[in-house]
Structure 1
Amino acid sequence: MQKLIRKGRGNDLFELALYVLAGVCFVYFLIKGIAPKMWQAVLIAGVLLLIRIVLKLTKTTMFAALRFCVLLFIFITMFLANEFGFYSVIPYLDKVEHLFSGVILCFVGLLIYQKASASEESSVVSSVKVAIWLSLFFSVAMAGVWEIYEFTTDRWFGLNSQNGSLIDTMTDIICGSIGAVLTSLYLVVQAKRRKMPVIDKQ
């Protein structure tokens, strides 16, 4: 499986499966007459397509591990949690999502560093240690930024994303930070083995 993921074929099949599942959900909820769920399926397909468009416009290629994590995150958050209503089935699913987001954002930080250091006009000196530290700090910072966003929308639009609780806010940040730390440790191990399969392109 890992070999397929590195080569990108596993990711291609995974993404195709998500499109098919979104199509099945659209038809099913259309027949059932449940409009919100039907349009949720359309939104999922739109998000998958938007990611491809953004990558093409920015001329960026996600390395295989990041692409796999993003697709898995979409499956968990948009299909299991929202489309199928698993928030009431799986305890602390929201915390799992924040933990996983820390992993993804750490890889995104690594991608940003990789893209910056690969630029012909860039003065950035490539360094594995710097790449890992940047990835970690980027992910932890984004966990905080997301909570600022939730706090702002709750205040402005009367939402309840943070359940009106500091405990919920801090727990989300902690979960995201734990995901970032674990991913950074994984990158450290790969660096010591003198191989970084996570930066293999798809």
Structure 2
Amino acid sequence: MKKKETPEKKKKEPIYQNKTTLTVYLVLRALVTFVLVRAALRRDFESVFMCGLTLVLMILPSFFSHKLNVELPTTLEVIILLFIFAAEILGELNSFYVRVPNWDTMLHTLNGFLCAAIGFALVDLLNESDRFSFKLSPAYLALAAFCFSMTVGVLWEFFEYTGDRVMGWDMQKDTVVNSIYTVELDETRSNKVVAVKDIADVIIVHSDGSQEALGLGGYLDIGLIDTMKDLMVNFLGAVVFSIIGYFYVKEKGKGDFAAQFIPKVKREKKDEA
């Protein structure tokens, strides 16, 4: 009697196939888990939620890679993981947005670059697919990537504004300025701009008549300058990648630098008959 061959159990594949990406993922996951446990012991449930959200976000690149059957370059995967950690754990929970100068600016610049890469990849994948008849030129691909990145940037600012107005957050950070230009102070109501310069402080007059000087050294701009700066650096990041992507497609994928950021369709091996 021949022994029945038992089917071999398939080994469970790791979330990330590349060793470098997997190492970075495991290290960051361990750090996030540590922060989560510490927050839970302190009964800081807002931080617990943020850590849980971060853990979910960190597996999304791998999830979409498998679902869309695309191969993410190692460099792109690592940058996305570090970006998520820097934005949520360092930026939000450890107050790097306040403690580290230009932390928010750096992340928004990187966000513009990454979103342009993602937008470029999505359109390029459609461009290379046999299921679609349209073929975009390198210039239109670069333009589509740029527009995708800027759209994501604008939608994010909508989210920040909604959070500030509805939830009472302070996502659109304030800026202290020493001069303002407004038509609201024009007593003639003729749409003339009134300049208020050399502002040294802001004094709050409460409903009971009491006054409080904030000692800011200027006027408190509530979010406008921060929003415009975020969009400008997002624009810069999007332009940089769009130029890189343009030459990548024009040279038919020969650029080594751009290839580190652009996902490619996985080539499945055909089964032998």
Question: TM (normalized to structure 1)?
Answer: 0.79
Say yes or no: does 1:199 pair with 2:262.
Answer: yes
1:17 aligned to which of 20, 27, 32: 27
Q: Given the superposition, is the C-alpha separation of residues 142 and 26 from structure 1 closer, same or farther in structure 2, using an over 3 Å criterion?
A: closer
Task: Point out the more displaced range, 23-32 or 96-105.
Answer: 23-32
Q: Which residue of 2 aligns with 1:71?
A: 81
Confirm or deny: 8 A CA contact 1:64 1:200 kept in the other structure.
Answer: no
Matched with 1:147 is 157
Which whole-Å deviations, capped at 9, do the CAs of 1:114-150 have from their partners, x for residues lacking one?
A: 2212332111215433322221222123222222232
RCO higher in structure (CA 8 A, sep ≥6): 1
Deviation at 1:181, TM superposition (A): 1.5
Asked if 1:28 is matched to 2:38, the reply is yes
Structure with bigger strand share is: 2
Paired position in structure 2 for 1:128? 138
What is aligned with 1:114? 124
Q: For the residues of structure 1 that align with 2:143 and 2:90, how far apart are their CA atoms? A: 32
CA contact (8 A) 1:99 1:178 kept: yes
Alignment counterpart, residue 97 of structure 1, candidates 84, 102, 107: 107
Q: Is the 8 A contact 2:138 2:247 kept in 1?
A: no
Counterparts of 2:65 and 2:152, CA distance in 1 = 20
Q: CA deviation at 1:76?
A: 0.9
SS at match of 2:48: helix
Cα distance in 1 for partners of 2:75, 2:91 equals 22
CA distance in 2, matches of 1:81, 1:52: 23
Contact 1:103–1:180 at 8 Å: present in 2 too?
yes
Match of 1:199, as an amino acid? I
Q: Which of 28, 37, 47 is residue 47 of structure 2 equivalent to?
A: 37
* Structure 2 residue runs without a partner (length 5+): 1-16, 174-221, 267-273
Q: Distance in 2 between matches of 1:158 and 1:110?
A: 35
The answer on 1:184 being equivalent to 2:242 is yes
Post-superposition offset of 1:188:
4.5
Q: What amino acid sits opposite 2:24 in the alignment?
A: F
Using the size of structure 2 for normalisation, the TM-score is: 0.61
Task: Kindly provide the CA deviation profile for residues 77-113 of structure 1, in whole angstroms up to 9, marking residues without a partner as x.
Answer: 0121123222232112111121111011011111211
Structure 2 residue identity aligned to 1:40: M
Structure 1 55/188 Cα, relative in aligned 2: closer, same or farther at 3 Å?
Answer: closer
Report if the CA contact (8 A) 2:21-2:77 is conserved. Answer: yes
Report the CA distance shift for 1:69/1:190 in structure 2 as closer, same or farther (over 3 A). same
Question: Which protein has the bigger helix share?
Answer: 1
Task: Please say if residues 54 and 85 of structure 2, whose CA atoms lie closer than 8 Å, have aligned partners that are also in contact.
Answer: no
Q: Where does residue 82 of structure 1 map in the other structure?
A: 92
Paired residues in the alignment total: 196
What SS class does the counterpart of residue 124 from structure 1 fall into? Answer: coil
Higher-Rg structure is 2
Cα distance between partner residues in 1 of 2:107 and 2:150: 15
Note closer, same or farther for the CA distance 1:86–1:161 as it changes in structure 2 (3 Å cut): closer
Rounded Cα–Cα distance in structure 2 between residues aligned with 1:172 and 1:187? 22
